[in-house]
């Protein structure tokens, strides 16, 4: 299979697999005081320090969670309390669902945040919490987090960055760009599913969403998922060949355009591994199935949500609602192999030719 759905989940890194096994062989609950517990605690704290080091944060400001859905919800709960919450219109459902009353900040046609609109909203709500994704999961479009951070700082607002798709692929220093906090999810960069983190700026207090045994210094109750946390830390240390991956992505993109595709967010800076391709007049699920039959895994629409294919709010927010049901996301994994672009190009061209032919014949 040619796996091109890395934004749903990246293949596990070998170092992460080893870390899972080592953690599973470590007897003990990190909260226990005996020697076994202390060994588990040591693993947990080493992982916390590794995350802090990679993300330019302090270890005590890293709160492990079950993933980014929980980390985003925790950020909004803890850092948005008593504040107006502003969210970009292309945010992930985990942000949208956690802030149902949020004030939307529009994006431009290329999917980047409308900074003038943000400034107007910040003038109205100076102590807001702005939630902004570093990179969009469907289009790969990067927001200008540094610019948003400067605007938030100028008004006294807080900025929470959903860094899920960017961590491990581009910049890691979100606090340095002005974020008060950011969320990450281990399986999105080759760790194991089941662990993520909320990382905050120095001294921010986190009121827990889940209370319990007082774990994570009272900020997140529940026994931490140690194997997945160890995998997260191990995966974060792995190199990412952005240029190699972007070269494959660019070749796939060129081939798809030649076959009739339109690139969503084409004018914006994007992740190296992602392209969202609309094929006008051809349903996304039909494209996905045709590619699946050719042994190629891509996703349609916001496909990280439980297999359902719904019209994408991301493309609608970019003024591309008409193409929303006709776009697939191609997201290359860290270990994409030589020859992948050629294989994709051939399958995509064949799919497009078959799908578009009957219409041409009728016309
Ligand atoms: N934010 C973004 C941008 C994502 O792509 C995802 C996963 N699709 C999440 C948050 C949620 O991550 P998880 O499902 O690992 O909790």
Relative to beta strand 103-105, strand 85-88 is parallel
Exposed / middle / buried, residue 322 (Cβ in 10 Å: 0-12, 13-18, 19+):
exposed
DSSP annotation of 94 reads H
Query: What pLDDT digit, counting tens, does each position of 208-262 carry?
Result: 999 999 999 999 999 999 999 999 999 999 999 999 999 999 999 999 999 999 9
Do 130 and 249 sit in the same domain of this protein?
no
Closest-lying ligand 1 atom to the alpha carbon of residue 70 = 16
Exposed / middle / buried, residue 76 (Cβ in 10 Å: 0-12, 13-18, 19+):
buried
For a ligand 1 pocket test, name from 131, 304, 305 the mutation site with the most ligand atoms within 8 angstroms of its C-beta: 304
The two three-digit tokens of residue 254, written as one number: 């060129």
Query: What pLDDT digit, counting tens, does each position of 256-292 carry?
Result: 999 999 999 999 999 999 999 999 999 999 999 999 9
Whether residue 272 has its Cβ less than 6 Å from ligand 1 = no
Percent of the chain with pLDDT over 70: 96
Do 57 and 125 sit in the same domain of this protein?
yes
Whether residue 10 has its Cβ less than 6 Å from ligand 1 = no
Mean pLDDT of 68-92: 98
Do 292 and 324 sit in the same domain of this protein?
yes
For a ligand 1 pocket test, name from 10, 132, 185 the mutation site with the most ligand atoms within 8 angstroms of its C-beta: 185
Exposed / middle / buried, residue 46 (Cβ in 10 Å: 0-12, 13-18, 19+):
middle
Query: If you average pLDDT over every residue of the chain, what do you get?
Result: 95
Domain stops at, among 204, 236, 268: 236
Domain stops at, among 194, 214, 236: 236
Separation of CA 164 and ligand 1 centre (Å): 6
Do 261 and 201 sit in the same domain of this protein?
no
Query: What pLDDT digit, counting tens, does each position of 104-152 carry?
Result: 999 999 999 999 999 999 999 999 999 999 999 999 999 999 999 999 9
Q: Specify the pLDDT at position 303.
A: 46
Do 282 and 136 sit in the same domain of this protein?
no
Domain stops at, among 185, 219, 236: 236
Burial 159-168 (b: 16+ CB within 10 A, else e): bbbbbbbbbb
Number of domains in the chain: 2
Do 108 and 126 sit in the same domain of this protein?
yes
Q: Specify the pLDDT at position 171.
A: 78
The two three-digit tokens of residue 130, written as one number: 């702005």
Do 185 and 261 sit in the same domain of this protein?
no
Whether residue 329 has its Cβ less than 6 Å from ligand 1 = no
Q: Specify the pLDDT at position 21.
A: 98
Mean pLDDT of 304-320: 77
Do 225 and 271 sit in the same domain of this protein?
no
Do 175 and 270 sit in the same domain of this protein?
no
Whether residue 69 has its Cβ less than 6 Å from ligand 1 = yes
Is it the case that residue 301 has pLDDT exceeding 80? no
Do 25 and 53 sit in the same domain of this protein?
yes
> What are the strands of the beta sheet with 85-88, ordered from one edge?
62-65, 196-200, 181-185, 158-162, 129-133, 85-88, 103-105
Read off the pLDDT band of 357 (50, 70, 90). Answer: confident
Query: What pLDDT digit, counting tens, does each position of 340-355 carry?
Result: 999 999 999 999 999 9
Separation of CA 69 and ligand 1 centre (Å): 6
Annotated catalytic, 152? Answer: no
Mean pLDDT of 178-192: 98
Do 203 and 265 sit in the same domain of this protein?
no
Closest-lying ligand 1 atom to the alpha carbon of residue 7 = 5
User: 14-24 vs 226-236: helix axis angle to the nearest 10?
Assistant: 150
Whether residue 98 has its Cβ less than 6 Å from ligand 1 = no
Q: How far apart are CA 181 and CA 204, in angstroms?
A: 9
Q: Specify the pLDDT at position 304.
A: 44
Whether residue 198 has its Cβ less than 6 Å from ligand 1 = no
Separation of CA 92 and ligand 1 centre (Å): 7
Do 304 and 225 sit in the same domain of this protein?
no
For the entire predicted model, the pTM comes to 0.96
| Domain CATH code at residue 112 | 3.40.640.10
Range of the domain at 82: 14-236
| Domain CATH code at residue 316 | 3.90.1150.10
């Amino acid at each position: 299979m040619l796996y091109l759905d890395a934004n749903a989940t990246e293949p596990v890194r070998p170092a992460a697999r080893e870390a899972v096994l080592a953690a599973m062989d470590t007897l003990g609950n990190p909260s226990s005081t005996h020697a076994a517990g202390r060994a588990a605690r040591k693993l947990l704290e080493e992982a916390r320090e590794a995350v802090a080091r990679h993300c330019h944060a302090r270890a005590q400001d890293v709160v492990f969670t079950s993933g980014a859905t929980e980390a985003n919800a925790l950020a909004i709960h803890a850092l948005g309390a008593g504040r107006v919450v502003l969210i970009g219109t292309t945010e992930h459902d985990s942000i949208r669902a956690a802030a149902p009353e949020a004030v939307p900040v529009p994006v431009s046609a290329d999917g980047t945040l409308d900074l003038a609109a943000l400034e107007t909203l910040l003038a109205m709500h100076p102590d807001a919490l702005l939630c902004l994704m570093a990179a969009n999961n469907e289009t790969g479009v990067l927001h200008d987090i540094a610019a948003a951070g400067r605007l938030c700082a100028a008004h006294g607002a807080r900025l929470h960055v959903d860094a899920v798709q960017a961590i491990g692929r581009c910049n890691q220093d979100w606090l340095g760009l002005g974020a008060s906090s950011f969320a990450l999810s281990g399986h999105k960069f080759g760790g194991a599913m089941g662990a993520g983190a909320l990382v905050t700026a120095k001294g921010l207090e986190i009121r827990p969403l889940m209370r319990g045994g007082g774990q994570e210094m009272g900020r997140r109750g529940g026994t931490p998922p140690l194997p997945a946390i160890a995998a997260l830390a191990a995966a974060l240390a792995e190199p990412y060949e952005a240029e190699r991956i972007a070269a494959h992505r660019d070749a796939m993109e060129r081939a798809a355009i030649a076959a009739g595709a339109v690139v969503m967010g084409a004018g914006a800076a994007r992740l190296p591994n992602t392209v969202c391709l609309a094929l006008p007049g051809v349903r996304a699920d039909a494209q996905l199935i045709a590619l699946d039959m050719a042994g190629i895994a891509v996703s349609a629409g916001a496909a990280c949500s439980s297999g359902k294919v719904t019209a994408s709010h991301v493309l609608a927010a970019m003024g591309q609602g008409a193409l929303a049901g006709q776009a697939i996301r191609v997201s290359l994994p860290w270990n994409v192999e030589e020859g992948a672009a050629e294989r994709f190009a051939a399958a995509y061209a064949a799919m497009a030719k078959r799908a578009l032919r009957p219409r041409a014949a009728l016309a």
